[in-house]
Structure 1
Amino acid sequence: MARSQESYSKREKEKKRLKKREEKQKKKEARKEEAKEGGGGIPFAYVDKFGNLTETPQDPEEKEEIDASEIVLEVPKREKAEYDPVRKGKVSFFDYSKGFGFIVDQENQEKYFCHISGLLDEINENDKVSFELEKGLKGLNAVRVKLLD
């Protein structure tokens, strides 16, 4: 009875794998021999004060002492922008039954969400208001909303 093709391909794959392994070993040994015979290249590389590689070490008298405590390993803190936190705007929409609305900022015409819990006075559509911005779950929210005269 004849052997199946599957076992034949398995043997062929195994032969290829062994052949690759042998070739790799031969290349590795050849590189080792070449390194022993060649002896070329720089056995040590030194860095001078300008950051260039050299064959000779730097003169110890020219070395600079650096205080490790002066090295800062952090991102500098960003200074807060000096601006008035109280902004002015106009109520574009507000629904008391749902408990939320939107305010349009006068300066940049951005719409900000406003919840009924952030109101200090009762507001209606087209009222001029002053408010502050606070980060919410889905962006900036208008809080501490006051009605302007």
Structure 2
Amino acid sequence: MKIHVEIDEELEKKEVLIRSNVWDEEVERLLSRLKEEERTYFAGMDGEKRHIFQPQDIIYLYTADKIVMAKTKEGTFQMKERLYELEEKLPPGRFVRLSKSVVANLDELKQFEASFHGSLCVYFRTGDKAYVSRKYVNRIKEKIHWKGKG
């Protein structure tokens, strides 16, 4: 793919042109990415302290005892929103649902290991691990462009 950037001081608004010989999955992905409205920050609590962080700082979000937590590079914080509400505000190209209770940052995944009953065990760069429910295995394989058996 070629990428060109042209600066035109006479333009009032930014404009993007995608040129392709066919309308395909890559064009769809580019459009989706361009339309993405990325939330610039999130706020989580650690005791009485409120911490502000950006989506790229999130390693994963998880639910524990009906409380949503954000594991970040700076620590673990309690969130006010529900997991699905946070998931809707995350960049979809960078995050993936692993199970009913975990949403992960794809950039923080290190490796996968086959687990019991067709699920996967995911290892994060931090050493933490989570399990991908069978329901979500195909979705994560698509996101990471999984090739080969299983």
TM score, norm. by length of structure 1:
0.24
More helix by share: 1
Larger Rg: 1
Q: Which has the higher strand share?
A: 2
